[in-house]
Amino acid sequence: MNNELFEALNILEKEKNISKETLLEAIRQSLLQACKNHYGKNEVSNVVVNIDPNTCEFEVYAEKTVVEQVEDELTQISLTNAKMKDDKYELGDVVRVDIKSKEFGRIATQNAKNVILQKIREEERKSLYNQYYEKEKDVVTGIVQRYVGKNVSVNLGKVDAMLNENEMIKGESFYPTQRIKIYVMEVKDTPKGPRILVSRTHPELVKRLFENEVTEVRDGTVEIRSIAREAGSRSKMAVSSNNPDVDPVGACVGMNGARVNSVVEELGGEKIDIINWDDNPALLIENALSPAKVIYVMADDDEKTAKVVVPDYQLSLAIGKEGQNARLAARLTGFKIDIKSETQARESGDLLEYESDYYDDDAYYEDEYDDYSGYDEDGSYEYPEDAAGEYQADYEDAPEYAGSEDDQE
């Protein structure tokens, strides 16, 4: 019997990831509970259970005090009965009296079994929670099980996670047994096991996918400094290099675009703009407005605002379809961006004000770039009247898809 118990504990330890010591403690507690039920006592503090972890041999005994007159049979033993066990015992001594577990009744045995099963369930739940808690804020691969309404049940190995509709990329659909990568936002401990919140729209998903795909990002040579994302449509990512010999953008793009294309494919064709991070906010904003070109940028780092002037023909490209390019640039940089066309800037007198300092101030940059009038990181933007007519809205209300660069032009 002990050999069978030993093998059973080994199997449980392997399959459920529960230590043998924990299981032996559960058995010990179950035997104590059985003693309580058998003797009808709430407290059996004098009952001792010893289990050998190597052989699973166990003994159960009660420590009884030798007395002249027995008042409690569970905790006391008469001097006569003690002498029958060993002549050395005197009044006040403690005698070990074996308890035969086979004498326990059906109810006591059933309760002991329930104690063991409950402990196994608790430890299994705790083990699963710890296992998946380590994967929080990381990307895991799951297998699509089925649709539950508009949500998707995804198997992550030992547990299932529910991918909610609002965490799915717009227009994305799955089929059973399909393998998908999802971002683990949070792992909650519940009585029914770990509850895992996952997402396909979180900006960190893009970062983790690049970490898996790009060695330089994984080892810290290239650092992803900021990400702005509109899931399913376009993302902008600013990167920098800790090694002057490594081009951060080139490392993320890969030879013939292999690395970035792998991430794009995983995200269902979502476009990804990769730009160089710059500690100079004006240069960073200039890069963030790519593919549009700018004439100059004046950034106020304290107020987190920036004025940008772009060539007239680049105005619509800088704003992007429904303001997407400007919106993502503001999110990426954390600046409120006011974009004007060259004509608008001249009419308002802004261009004349800056032209005198143009070549002397690092905050201004001449290029062939493009345009926008009033973009704000917290949402508001306004198209120039001469470029796109009167238009004002909050970027969160705008449709997610921004079209291709050709559409924007």
Confidence at residue 27, expressed as pLDDT on a 0 to 100 scale: 80
Q: Taking all residues of the chain, what is their mean pLDDT, rounded to a whole number?
A: 80
Can you give the residue range of the structural domain that contains 154? Answer: 136-199
Residues 169 and 286 reside in one and the same domain: no
The residue whose two tokens read 């640039």 is 329
Q: Convert the pLDDT of each residue in 261-302 to its tens digit.
A: 999 999 989 999 999 999 999 999 999 998 999 988 988 888
Residue bearing tokens 């004025």: 307
Residue 366 and residue 299 in one domain: yes
Dig out the tokens for 97 from the structure: 């009296």
245 and 301 both lie in a single domain? no
Q: Please determine, for residue 402, whether its predicted confidence score (pLDDT) is greater than 60.
A: no
Contact 104, 34 (CB under 8 A): yes
Both 320 and 402 in a single domain?
A: yes
Domain boundary among 172, 199, 226: 199
The lowest-confidence range among 6-15, 35-44, 249-258 is: 35-44
Based on the fold, state whether residues 289 and 408 are members of the same structural domain.
Answer: yes
CA distance 315 to 283: 18
Same domain, 270 and 368: no
Band (pLDDT 50/70/90 cuts) for residue 350 is low
CATH number at residue 227: 3.30.300.20
Same domain, 52 and 109: yes
Q: Is the pLDDT of residue 246 over 90?
A: yes
Are 211 and 301 within one domain? no
Domain co-membership, 316 together with 270: no
Q: What is the pLDDT of residues 176-229, one digit of tens each?
A: 999 999 999 999 988 888 899 999 999 999 999 999 999 999 999 999 999 999
331, 367: one domain:
yes
* pLDDT score for 363: 39
The predicted-structure confidence for 156-180, as pLDDT tens digits, reads as follows: 988 999 999 999 998 888 999 999 9
Between strands 139-148 and 179-190, the pairing is: antiparallel
Provide the whole-model pTM.
0.67
CA dihedral in degrees (267, 272, 276, 279; nearest 10)?
Answer: -80
Q: What is the rounded distance in angstroms from the CA atom of residue 375 to the CA atom of residue 209?
A: 30
Report how far residue 409's alpha carbon sits from residue 404's, in angstroms, rounded to the nearest whole number. Answer: 9
Average pLDDT of the segment spanning 79-93: 82
Same domain, 286 and 399: yes
Of 132, 150, 166, the residue at which a domain comes to its end is: 132
> What total of structural domains would you count in the chain?
4
DSSP assignment of 286-311 equals HHHTTTS-BSEEEEETTTTEEEEEE-
- Please tell me the predicted confidence (pLDDT) of residue 405: 40
Residues 299, 360 share a domain:
yes
Last residue of a domain, which of 178, 199, 220?
199
| pLDDT, tens digit, 9 for 90 and up, residues 312-334 | 999 899 999 888 999 999 999 99
Dihedral sign (CA 132, 138, 142, 144): positive
